[in-house]
């Protein structure tokens, strides 16, 4: 008989395994709880539906040609920001949005996976080549926000960021012209 083995060793092993099982269950419950809290309390948004776009013709035709990037205001007042991410910049580099009005972002990437978050708001998405990422959010406070790339995309990743100017709604409306694409990039 090996040292330590006795009539009780089987019962001790079962008790130890049961103890570890409860610890593992507690960890799983904690992780699921964290997902629920971040989802509800921080308004983290679920991934958008799958919408594809052809990377090869992105620059040539369709929604993401350069002249169509930036902020547009539709006839019914809906505000849409279109942008692309590429190594190592966003286009446009400076985005204008109104405060207190729902803004829909539509973005994609040309080369590899990028992503962005706008300051400490819940505007946060990945940009994936071949797919259109979209979400709608409302910026409550006017001011300038930094918008860094948050997916490691290569050696220039840490230098990849844009700015978002949140303007008071009246100031935004004064600058928005029908059919035009707004940005705050210096020209």
88 vs 135, beta carbon nearer ligand CUA: 88
Interface residues toward ligand CUA, by CB under 6 A: 85, 88, 114, 149, 151-153, 157, 160
Is 22 strand, coil or helix? helix
85 vs 98, beta carbon nearer ligand CUA: 85
Q: What's the min distance (Å) between Cβ of 107 and ligand CUA?
A: 12
Q: What's the min distance (Å) between Cβ of 160 and ligand CUA?
A: 4
151 vs 171, beta carbon nearer ligand CUA: 151
The per-residue DSSP string of 38-62 comes to HHHHS-PPPPPPP-B--GGGTTTSS
Could you tell me if 161 and 147 are in contact, meaning their C-beta atoms sit under 8 angstroms apart? yes
Q: What's the min distance (Å) between Cβ of 187 and ligand CUA?
A: 24
Q: How far is CA 45 from CA 107, 122, 126, 174, 179, in A?
A: 16, 8, 12, 31, 30
Residues in the chain: 187
117 vs 169, beta carbon nearer ligand CUA: 117
Could you tell me if 181 and 69 are in contact, meaning their C-beta atoms sit under 8 angstroms apart? yes
Q: What's the min distance (Å) between Cβ of 17 and ligand CUA?
A: 44
What the block records as the tokens of 36 is 């629920």
């Amino acid at each position: 008989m090996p040292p330590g083995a006795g009539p009780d060793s089987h019962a001790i092993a079962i008790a130890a395994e049961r103890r570890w099982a409860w610890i593992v269950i507690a960890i799983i419950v904690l992780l699921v709880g964290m997902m629920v809290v971040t989802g509800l309390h921080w308004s983290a948004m679920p991934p958008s539906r799958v919408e594809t776009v052809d990377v090869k013709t992105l620059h040539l035709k369709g929604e993401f040609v350069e002249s169509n990037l930036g902020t547009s205001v539709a006839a019914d007042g809906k505000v849409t920001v279109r942008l692309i991410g590429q190594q190592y910049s966003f286009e446009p580099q400076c985005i204008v949005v109104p405060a207190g009005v729902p803004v829909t972002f539509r973005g994609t990437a040309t080369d590899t996976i990028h992503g962005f978050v706008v300051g400490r708001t819940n505007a946060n998405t990945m940009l994936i080549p071949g797919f259109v990422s979209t979400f709608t959010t409302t910026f409550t406070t006017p001011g300038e926000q930094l918008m860094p790339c948050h997916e490691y995309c290569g050696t220039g990743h840490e230098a990849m960021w844009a700015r978002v100017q949140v303007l008071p709604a009246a100031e935004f409306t004064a600058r928005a012209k029908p059919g035009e694409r707004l940005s705050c990039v210096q020209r």
